[in-house]
Amino acid sequence: MLHFLQRIIPSVVWETAETLVIWVHSLLRGVTPKIKGPSKHEAVAVPRIKKFDEAKQLLKILVGMKEQALKSRSTPNERLAITFKIENGFTTMSLDTHAEYVNHIHELLKMVSYYSEQILIKDIFETEKAIFVKKYGENIPFLKYILTVSFKFSIKRFLGELLNDKLTEADMSDLCLKAGDKITSLWLESKKGPVDWEEQKALFDILQILFPSLNVEDKLENPLNIILPSFETLWRVMYRLCVTVQCSDEADLYLKVLRQFGEDPSEATFKNKVDGVSAEFIVKEILFVNPPTRTIYRSDENGNIVGVDVKVVHMEGVEIKGFYPQRWGNDKDIPFLTFGYGSMSCPAKRFAPVALALMGAAIFEIFEYYAWNVELKKIDAEGKNDRVKYFEFEIKKVK
């Protein structure tokens, strides 16, 4: 199977999550990705925290200080509140709004069983495979597939009852990809300044079709309050997971472990180790080496922003920097900030790894393991610097 990818993809290609977003956006538009420009935060040289102890100090919430903690998070998230017209636990300064939002998310994240999650995931992934094969023939643009299934999963899993039941799966597939694309582009634009209102309107038009009973532009009813934290993290991890597993020297072992989990999805198989590797370790490792929330921002009372550089904190003092799931069997004291820290950390920290492992298992099963390849298409970016070469993948049926 993968083969030549293993040899030619330099580790430097696996840029930050932000760079990934930039090139995804460019690729979807069929234009050459631009070299990453300074973001609004970077332009004012946001101080970065790179040590685990300092990060924990910043993120932990002292008794009676929750309101200040919310404020310190809502300031750096202001641009998201404006861009996506949201008001949720990430943007609010109100203790009540925060509590109500987080409780609702906790309810949504309850799992009946691993098996019931798998049924939904496989159904979405298989349906989308059929739609993509019909649309693109035997060369499936992997990125578009991942964006679509991740968006569709986020809306069906968390907002299923509100979805427009008159839409066909193919129509919904189209809308999911367009919405995912718009979210990505608005996210990027918002870093440079106010966003193009037409782009913003296009996103809300799509959401209104998907959720006809909601007033999607009302900041409290807006489904993006729930979609954003889910979609924006899951698709990026899924993409990394699939390509990293496929490109690894140990691909056979990782695929075997994911296959076993897919055949019998339960907590026991999630944790079951084969040669020191479990599905749990594979997912934890991808979340460790490529945390999708690369920086966790807070502000002080004067509005000065500081960011925890999650990946740098992770890599500090770690000997093996590359993908190495076995590390989780050896050392229990590795700093892990992918889901944040303290009482405002991610409520999906148990759900998301299971969902991601089920998604990984589903993709490799649906694309029939070795019968499908990920094929590299190199796209020359501006400049000759190695750091700005970009890659796209296709799943290609082997004749």
CB nearer to ligand HEM: pick between 313 and 381: 313
CB nearer to ligand HEM: pick between 141 and 347: 347
CB nearer to ligand HEM: pick between 247 and 344: 344
Give the bridge partners for 376, in sequence order: 393
State the residue for tokens 């906790």.
Answer: 106
**Helices and strands in the chain, H and E counts:** 18, 6
CB nearer to ligand HEM: pick between 32 and 39: 39
DSSP 198-260: HHHHHHHHHHHHH-TTS-TTSTTT-THHHHHHHHHHHHHHHHHHHHHHHHSTTHHHHHHHHHH
Cα atoms in the Cβ-side hemisphere of radius 13 Å centred on 264 = 8
For residue 196, CA distances in Å to 203, 217, 227 come to 11, 16, 21
CB nearer to ligand HEM: pick between 53 and 138: 53
Least distance between ligand HEM and beta carbon 111 (Å): 12
Rg (CA), the chain: 20
CB nearer to ligand HEM: pick between 212 and 340: 340
Three-state DSSP at 265 gives coil
Written as one letter, the residue type at 276 is G
Least distance between ligand HEM and beta carbon 371 (Å): 28
Least distance between ligand HEM and beta carbon 331 (Å): 21
Least distance between ligand HEM and beta carbon 6 (Å): 25
Least distance between ligand HEM and beta carbon 137 (Å): 32
CB nearer to ligand HEM: pick between 121 and 140: 121
Name the pairing type of β-strands 305-309 and 295-299: antiparallel
CB nearer to ligand HEM: pick between 229 and 262: 229
Least distance between ligand HEM and beta carbon 340 (Å): 3
Q: Nearest-CA neighbor of 393 among 282, 239, 241?
A: 239
Least distance between ligand HEM and beta carbon 133 (Å): 28
Q: How far apart are CA 395 and CA 371, in angstroms?
A: 10
Give the bridge partners for 307, in sequence order: 48, 297
Least distance between ligand HEM and beta carbon 342 (Å): 8
Q: Under the rule (CB under 6 A), what is the footprint of ligand HEM?
A: 59, 73, 89, 102, 105, 158, 226, 229-230, 233-234, 237, 292-293, 296, 338-340, 344-348, 352
For residue 222, CA distances in Å to 226, 227, 228 come to 8, 9, 11
Three-state DSSP at 163 gives coil
